[in-house]
Amino acid sequence: MRRVPPQTQAVTADTPALKTLPASERGTLLVVSRPAGAQVVMDDRSIGRTPMTIPEVTVGEHSIRLELPGFKSWATTADVKAGSATRVAASLEQ
């Protein structure tokens, strides 16, 4: 199993929301927020808290929403490319 620094949460390929795909059909998504600890909702599925690395993401556009009590929700669309990492960074407003 891959070691992840304690401040970073990783979603693995055996996570039910994800499946193993050929390298030509997947990429990685890195999601960070300021402040950290925001709930990450990808394609209408809650998948964890920031900061996190999400491997095995299907190539293409994915909706990303970050939610943290006391802060405004933040949303964007991430375009995941095959074999590369796409970074999503947000500064949440109170």
Domain range list for the chain: 9-15+23-91
CB neighbours of residue 51 within 10 Å: 21
Token pair, residue 25, equals 């059909």
User: How far does CA 30 lie from the centroid of its chain?
Assistant: 5
Compute the distance between CA of residue 24 and CA of residue 70 in angstroms, rounded to an integer. 40
Q: Does pLDDT of 47 surpass 80?
A: yes
Which band of pLDDT confidence, cut at 50, 70 and 90, is reported for residue 57?
very high
| 59 compared with 18, residue with greater pLDDT | 59
| CATH code given to domain 9-15+23-91 | 2.60.40.1120
pLDDT given for residue 19 in this prediction: 55
Q: Does pLDDT of 9 surpass 60?
A: no
Which band of pLDDT confidence, cut at 50, 70 and 90, is reported for residue 50?
very high
The answer for residues whose C-beta is within 8 angstroms of residue 4's C-beta and 6 or more apart is 10, 53
Compute the distance between CA of residue 36 and CA of residue 38 in angstroms, rounded to an integer. 6
